[in-house]
């Protein structure tokens, strides 16, 4: 087999980042250097849930920073109505994201078992009409992976929603279980955003014998699963299409938290992969002999988000086979509150973005 030592990725996109607010916004420089497009969630301290919030965050606060093309949206809550969605769309929002209440940072969305509530039906109808995707965090409230019962319940809910709203585009964000990945492949109109750390770690990498967290820097939700699940994530990166339909895309879920809140007994949940995430993807795909499939997985999914690529932010990412060790922390200042742990910080990585 021909040895490949350079990969070019036209229009790379990170389809799931958290740009945060205040000092953490300094980390946006990583994204503007690397990607043509980022899809940015706004589960801020005061989550963006309507047109006014959208306007303040995406159309004002973010403008002070150097950015790639940003696709923004609103967070779903039990109070979201069809009117809220339509107004937010007019302000520029292009997706609705649901993070169930209590499962992640500043999350106040709908619980998985309430996704089919009659109140949500009008919201889905409006999103369907506008072509706005629904981005779902499929997570349990109990800091564990979903039980068999919860998964069955979720799959039935999605089938019901798809039955009533066949045009509604849905993504499972960071699917970490083989069963979720199989469901995406098997269900028309379902897609998933893959985060590289789920192709890297299992529960054995983070928890000790008594369930204690050994590596808070990689702690995240949903939790890492087992070896079989990790393998399913790797092959989803290699096979982003199924019967001509795009199923998977790069969605690193970059979630910067200061090292202060990553220490403590219950570390904040989230991983910041920054410039290392694409290198990890290259390592994973190379390990299964599928490096040539990387550009298809990384390229911007214009059809799903329905937002044309802005030619002024278009770029090509180039990776070279070159060993390096990312720094342990990325920083925007000298104090711990301005520093975040970097994925694979201090470890050897065999590909580098040039
Ligand atoms: Zn996220």
Residue percentage of the chain with pLDDT more than 70: 99
Whole-number Å distance, alpha carbon 44 to ligand 1 midpoint, is 11
Whole-number Å distance, alpha carbon 171 to ligand 1 midpoint, is 12
Whole-number Å distance, alpha carbon 42 to ligand 1 midpoint, is 9
Q: Where are the beta strands (DSSP E) in 230-273?
A: 241-242, 245-246, 248-250
Whole-number Å distance, alpha carbon 223 to ligand 1 midpoint, is 13
- Lowest mean per-residue pLDDT among 93-107, 188-202, 284-298: 93-107
Nearest to 76 by CA among 110, 117, 106: 110
Whole-number Å distance, alpha carbon 4 to ligand 1 midpoint, is 32
Average pLDDT of the chain to the nearest whole number? 93
3-state secondary structure at position 165: coil
Whole-number Å distance, alpha carbon 96 to ligand 1 midpoint, is 13
The predicted-structure confidence for 138-172, as pLDDT tens digits, reads as follows: 988 777 888 898 999 999 999 999 999 999 999 99
- pLDDT for residue 261 is more than 60: yes
Whole-number Å distance, alpha carbon 253 to ligand 1 midpoint, is 5
Residue 112 is predicted with a pLDDT of: 82
Residue 134 is predicted with a pLDDT of: 97
pLDDT confidence tier of residue 23, bands split at 50, 70 and 90 = confident
Whole-number Å distance, alpha carbon 298 to ligand 1 midpoint, is 17
- pLDDT for residue 215 is more than 60: yes
Whole-number Å distance, alpha carbon 148 to ligand 1 midpoint, is 23
Residue 3 is predicted with a pLDDT of: 77
Whole-number Å distance, alpha carbon 40 to ligand 1 midpoint, is 9
Whole-number Å distance, alpha carbon 350 to ligand 1 midpoint, is 26
Residue 10 is predicted with a pLDDT of: 97
Q: pTM for this one?
A: 0.95
Mean pLDDT for 295-316 is: 96
Whole-number Å distance, alpha carbon 222 to ligand 1 midpoint, is 10
Residue 1 is predicted with a pLDDT of: 57
- pLDDT for residue 2 is more than 80: no
3-state secondary structure at position 4: coil
Whole-number Å distance, alpha carbon 251 to ligand 1 midpoint, is 9
- pLDDT for residue 293 is more than 60: yes
Whole-number Å distance, alpha carbon 1 to ligand 1 midpoint, is 38
Q: How far apart (Å, rounded) are the C-alpha atoms in residues 202 and 328?
A: 21
The predicted-structure confidence for 55-85, as pLDDT tens digits, reads as follows: 999 999 999 888 899 999 999 999 999 999 9
CATH topology of domain 6-353: TIM Barrel (3.20.20)
Q: How far apart (Å, rounded) are the C-alpha atoms in residues 28 and 26?
A: 5
Residue 210 is predicted with a pLDDT of: 86
CB under 5 Å of ion ligand 1: residues? 253
Residue 160 is predicted with a pLDDT of: 95
Query: How many C-beta neighbours within 10 Å does residue 302 have?
Result: 14
Q: How far apart (Å, rounded) are the C-alpha atoms in residues 189 and 153?
A: 19
Residue 248 is predicted with a pLDDT of: 98
Mean pLDDT for 11-30 is: 90
Residue 102 is predicted with a pLDDT of: 77
What φ, ψ does residue 239 adopt, rounded to 5°?
A: -120, 70
- pLDDT for residue 181 is more than 90: yes
Indicate if the alpha-carbon torsion angle 210, 277, 75, 180 is positive or negative: negative
Whole-number Å distance, alpha carbon 353 to ligand 1 midpoint, is 23
Whole-number Å distance, alpha carbon 41 to ligand 1 midpoint, is 7
Per the CB < 8 A criterion, the answer to whether 295 and 6 are in contact is no
Domain parsing of the chain, residue ranges: 6-353
């Amino acid at each position: 087999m021909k040895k490949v030592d350079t990969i070019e990725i036209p229009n790379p996109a990170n389809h799931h980042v958290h740009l945060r607010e205040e000092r953490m916004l300094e980390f946006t420089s990583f994204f503007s250097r690397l990607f043509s497009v980022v899809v940015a969630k706004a589960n801020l301290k005061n989550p963006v849930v309507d047109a006014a919030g959208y306007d303040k965050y995406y159309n004002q606060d973010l403008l002070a920073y150097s950015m790639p093309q940003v696709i923004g949206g609103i967070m779903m809550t039990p109070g979201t109505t069809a009117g809220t969605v339509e107004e937010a769309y007019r302000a520029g929002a292009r997706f609705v994201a649901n993070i169930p209440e209590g499962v992640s940072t500043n999350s106040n969305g709908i619980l998985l078992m309430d996704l089919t509530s009659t109140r949500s039906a009008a919201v889905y109808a409006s999103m369907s009409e506008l072509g706005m995707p629904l981005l779902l965090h499929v997570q349990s409230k109990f800091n564990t992976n979903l039980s068999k019962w919860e998964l069955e319940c979720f799959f039935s809910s999605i089938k019901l929603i798809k039955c009533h709203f066949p045009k509604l585009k849905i993504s499972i964000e960071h699917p970490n279980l083989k069963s979720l990945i199989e469901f995406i492949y098997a269900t028309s109109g379902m897609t998933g955003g893959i985060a590289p750390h789920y192709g890297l770690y299992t529960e054995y990498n983070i928890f000790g014998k008594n369930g204690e967290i050994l590596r808070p820097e990689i702690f995240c939700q949903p939790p890492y699963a087992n070896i079989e699940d990790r393998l399913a994530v790797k092959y989803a990166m290699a096979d982003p299409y199924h019967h001509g339909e795009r199923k998977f895309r790069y969605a690193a879920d970059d979630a910067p938290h200061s090292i202060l809140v990553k220490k403590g007994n219950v570390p904040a949940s989230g991983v910041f992969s920054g410039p290392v995430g694409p290198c990890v993807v290259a390592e994973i795909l190379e390990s299964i002999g599928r490096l040539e499939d990387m550009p298809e997985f990384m390229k911007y999914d214009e059809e799903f988000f329905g937002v044309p690529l802005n030619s002024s932010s278009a770029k090509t990412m180039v990776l070279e086979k070159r060993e390096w060790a990312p720094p342990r922390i990325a920083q925007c200042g000298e104090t711990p509150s301005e520093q975040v742990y970097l994925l694979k910080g201090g470890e050897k990585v065999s590909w580098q973005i040039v």
